[in-house]
C-alpha cells in the first residue's frame, strides 16, 4: 500500500512498507540520474525488490529486469511507478516497464490516491497531501519522503 503525490514541483510518497502485520520504514521516492545524464524523479509502489531492480536499471547500473521474475503475468498489468521527467511531464510506468504519458499538472497514485487527489485539488502541496492520506487512510504511513529538481 502506497500513496504518491505530485504537485507540479515536488514528488512525495509515504514511507511505509507492509509485510503481513508488520510495517517498516522505507524510501519510495528518488531523484535519478540515468546513464546518459538525464535526470528524473521516480516514486515506486508495489513489490520492493522489483522497485530496487527497476531503480538500478534506470540508473544504468543493471540490465532491464524481467517482470516475470518478480510477479505473475496478471500482475504485470499494474502500475509500479510514477516518473516525472525534466520537462515536468508525468508518466506512469507499468509493471511491464512501459511508460504511459499522463496529461495532468498534478497527480496522485497508489492505494491512498483518493485522499491525495482531493488534497492536491484543494491546493495542498505533495507533502501535505501525503500527510492527509496518512491521517485518514490505512494506505500511507510512517512519514513522508520527497524529491524535486
In the chain the domains, ranked by start, together with CATH numbers, are 3-139 (3.60.20.10)
* Distance separating alpha carbons of residues 115 and 2, to the nearest angstrom: 12
Cα angle, residue 101 at apex, residues 95 and 104 outer, rounded to 5°: 120
pLDDT recorded at residue 21: 84
Residues 20-34, mean pLDDT to the nearest whole number: 94
pLDDT reading at 94 higher than 90: yes
* Pairing status of strand 90-94 against strand 10-14: unpaired
pLDDT reading at 35 higher than 90: no
Q: Which pLDDT band, with edges at 50, 70 and 90, does 142 fall under?
A: very high
Among 112, 89, 104, residue whose Cα is nearest residue 18: 112
Residue recorded with cell 511507478: 81
Among 97, 121, 96, residue whose Cα is nearest residue 6: 121
Cα angle, residue 49 at apex, residues 131 and 143 outer, rounded to 5°: 15
Length of the chain: 149
Buried b (16+ CB within 10 A) or exposed e, 60-69: eeeeebebee
The pTM is what?
A: 0.94
Q: Which pLDDT band, with edges at 50, 70 and 90, does 77 fall under?
A: confident
Q: Which pLDDT band, with edges at 50, 70 and 90, does 96 fall under?
A: very high
Amino acid at each position: 500500500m502506497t500513496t504518491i503525490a505530485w504537485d507540479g514541483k515536488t514528488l512525495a510518497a509515504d514511507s511505509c512498507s507492509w509485510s503481513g502485520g508488520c510495517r517498516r520504514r522505507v524510501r519510495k521516492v528518488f531523484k535519478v540520474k540515468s546513464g546518459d545524464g538525464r535526470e528524473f524523479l521516480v516514486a515506486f509502489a508495489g513489490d520492493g525488490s522489483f522497485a530496487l531492480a527497476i531503480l538500478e536499471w534506470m540508473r544504468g547500473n543493471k540490465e532491464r529486469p524481467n517482470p516475470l521474475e518478480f510477479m505473475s503475468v496478471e500482475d504485470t498489468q499494474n502500475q509500479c511507478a510514477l516518473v516525472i521527467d525534466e520537462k515536468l511531464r508525468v508518466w506512469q510506468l507499468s509493471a511491464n516497464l512501459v511508460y504511459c504519458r499522463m496529461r495532468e499538472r498534478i497527480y496522485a497514485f497508489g492505494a491512498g490516491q483518493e485522499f491525495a487527489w482531493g488534497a492536491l485539488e484543494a491546493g495542498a502541496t505533495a507533502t501535505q497531501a501525503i500527510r492527509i492520506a496518512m491521517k485518514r487512510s490505512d494506505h500511507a504511513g510512517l512519514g513522508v519522503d520527497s524529491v524535486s529538481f
